[in-house]
Structure 1
Amino acid sequence: MRAVRFHHYGDIDVLRVEDVEQRALRPHDVLVRMRAAGINPGEAKIRTGALHERFPASFPSGQGSDLAGTVVETGCEVTRWRVGDEVLGWSWERSSHAELVVVPDGQLVAKPEGLAWETAGALYVSGSTACAAVAAVAPAPGETVVVTAATGGVGSIAVQLVRRAGAHVIAVASPRHGDWLRARGATVVPYGEGVEDRLRRAAGPAPSGFLDFHGGEYVRLGLALGVAPARINTIDYGAAAAYGTRSDASAEGSTPGTLTRLAGLVAEGAVRVPVSAVHPLEEVRQAFRELEHAHPLGKIVLTS
């Protein structure tokens, strides 16, 4: 089968699409023919070695966690899934950017009828992270929550989940995606120099929660705005350790129940997952070039 591989840490040009052997199925494994698989900023950081201390790569390394496709074979003890079932789920083996993916049967859920393949394949990492982060901050009706990187894959979902909880959202994002955020009930604050002053003007009294999907100085900014550390959730693990905030992410949100509920909301139109570009597997370098340099709205997806 064809699969994305990289043989050492580096920039986008280390990515290759190679012929690789499919690993054998264990009794509870399912073989899925990939129809769509989202790409994520964390995968780029793993590829460059930026996350080596936390998530080291073994070479040659595969890539990809998001997954949607069709079951083509099952292990001898799998009872829930049958050949031909349409599923979505996740791989913890960095293996979903491939034509065929082997995953344990408990890491799949049924794809709702009518949910587009590209959307289904974009759900896992962003959706599980957004669900865990929003749950960590626990927004209540009438509260105000700041969301940074609000038009990225995670932030765009989190904005909608916070609004569904009845809280007001102040979204830190590029002005070029402002209309999309305002259509979902958010107040838009452009990022960049002076963002703290703009947030103070927009928030009025101290916000109740702060969701940081960018990292850097945003945790410090949340604290400066008066948000309690227990109600700040960040993707920046170093800042979380330094300031005592939360850092719940996909690991905390990786349950079949969470993914099933989110897929249902998306299928019924209650939550939108913007997919800004779709590329065939062979264009993986172009897909990551857009992700890392074009600041797209929502997700970019590979197909096979």
Structure 2
Amino acid sequence: MNVITRFQESFLQRISEPLLGDREISLWIRREDLIHPEISGNKWWKLSGNLQEILDKSSSPTLLTFGGAYSNHLYATASACAELGIPCIGIVRGEIPEPRNATLTFASDKGMELVSVSRSEYRNNAQISEKYQRIIPNLYVVPEGGTNEAAVLSCTAIVDDRMKEMNYVCVPAGTGGTMAGIIGGMENHGVVLGFSALKGDFLSEEVNGLLKKAFPERDLKHWRMITDYHHGGYARISDELIAFIQSFYGAHGILLDPVYTGKMMFGIYDMIRRDLFPAGSSICAIHTGGLQGWNGIRERYGIDPTSF
């Protein structure tokens, strides 16, 4: 599992404040954001599973993957491949901005070859993959976001015995891979709540599909998707969300990202205020990292998440 370096073990951090005491709720954050400075959170887990599988198959692989201009996945993949000496190609959705933003500059500096394709071309990832597989030997394709069966199985290891004692485990959801892994790891202990970062109610179907592939013999029922806290859709933000992230950082010294974990924590607090968690409940929230995503928010909106 430790094919890429892990700098720190994950740990549970207790959150204390009057709202939680008033509602008799115990809230913990699992600090997956701290396990690696560049390959943080769920990206470390997803890439560990994929890269182990790739290296088991070939001693000289090349990795091809996909992402947007501010992609956490491209950023983390570039770092992981540089650490392991694996050549990698990043297919970027849309034009590569010039000058390059901080995310793509980092990926390029780490040795990732960046190739821009139009948004219409990008929709046919299979065709792009087939094109490169014809010309590059030992090419391995990792999907956008890193979600596949190898990633799901790797993410089961996020769950430990303390988490299985919690009434609820909450996780942000973008492709559903991390959530599916946690559902598998929880083994129907407690309820897993996924907080969708995307507008719409289609991720439940994605998670169901991943569960059937990764755990075909298991009946994993104790989960549901929460779709009310996307703040306008993927990578969209609101003044209310930013104010919450800044306030949470000021109170607890924990920085949340604006695309995934910030929206999940906003949703958890709103549900607590609305008494949607029974008194006496214990909740574990997974911090999935992704803090480099603030690069895009700073560049586009000039917002400092630690200023409040």
More strand per residue: 1
Asked if Structure 1 and Structure 2 have the same fold, meaning a TM-score greater than 0.5 normalized by the shorter chain, the answer is no
Bigger helix fraction: 2
Provide the TM-score with structure 1 as the length reference: 0.32
What TM-score results when the alignment is normalised by the length of structure 2? Answer: 0.32
